[in-house]
Amino acid sequence: MPLHLANLQDWQFPEKTTIYTDKDTMLYALSLGFGESPTDPAELPFVYEDGLRAVPTMGAVLCHPGPWLTDPRTGATRSKVVHGEQRMRFHAPLPPQGQLTARSRVIGIQDKGADKGALLHLQRELYGEDGTLVITLRHSSFCRADGGCGSFGESLVLNAPPARAPDRSFELKTLPQAALIYRLNVDRNPLHADPAKARQAGFDRPPLHGLCTYGMAARAILKMWLDHDPARLASLDTRFSASVFPGETLVFETWREGGGIAFRALAKERGVKVLDNGWADIRG
């Protein structure tokens, strides 16, 4: 059925505060594969408390609004909703431990048509204890069965990568147990752990969380272009094109374009594009 446009325009999210520790920060980095080489001096600061650094994309798992689209007032057919796109802008470095408060709102719906679904754009702003805006997130959900609802608000667009060969490419191997580790951050959807639940959803085995693949894009860009300095990553945007399965190798293709990096990612073993239309603004 169509999304309930009027309800979503006026949807009220309560402020949500999260206190996180250095343990949470290290767990998040480990779930992305940091520390694969335990003595690597470039990656150790993300998984060791002495001089600990936070991966900026950890903001995606902090102050999470939870499964709010399951509320029948939204009109969403939850079983047909997938994570379509993710955007994050990093206004200030994410402390390795601390407290953040989120303010969320629906900023737009793009109706594709009654038989084509709709894109719902949710914005979440994370503020530090002193009121400083640390991160702005924009999460786009593709509601595949809920078009014909009408549109409002912002229409978000991602740019296609350049037509030329990549400037730099890099491979990252996902762990066979990657989904079991990543789900300890925030998203314990059984789809990512229970083979029976995965089969019911049309997968032959549990897929990896899209936000884990997204965090691995940050890991790849930090290594390839930013000398592992998280303060230089100003934004990270991408579209989820296909699922990744734990144990697969991700090939990140990147292009330097003006003040940023265009990127995409492929699952090497299947030759399938899993991230597309990626863009990262960089500082310095």
192 is catalytic: yes
228 is catalytic: no
Please provide the DSSP assignment of the chain as one string: ----HHHHHT--PPPEEEEE-HHHHHHHHHHTTTTSSTT-TTTGGGTSSTT----GGGGGGSS---SGGGSGGG---GGGEEEEEEEEEESSPPPSSEEEEEEEEEEEEEEEETTTEEEEEEEEEEE-TTS-EEEEEEEEEEETT--SS--EE-----PPPPSSPPSEEEEEEPPTTHHHHHTTTS---GGGT-HHHHHHTT-SSPPPPHHHHHHHHHHHHHHHHSTT-GGGB-EEEEEE-S---TTPEEEEEEEEETTEEEEEEEETTTTEEEEEEEEEEB--
Q: For the chain, what's the residue count?
A: 284
Q: Which of 111, 146, 187, 276 is catalytic?
A: 187
Count of Cβ atoms closer than 10 Å to residue 263 Cβ: 28
Q: Which of 64, 121, 139, 192 is catalytic?
A: 192
Cα atoms in the Cβ-side hemisphere of radius 13 Å centred on 178: 27
Determine the Cα–Cα distance for residues 238 and 60; give it in Å rounded to an integer.
13
Q: Which of 263, 257, 259, 267 is nearest to 276 (CA)?
A: 263
Residues belonging to the active site: 187, 192
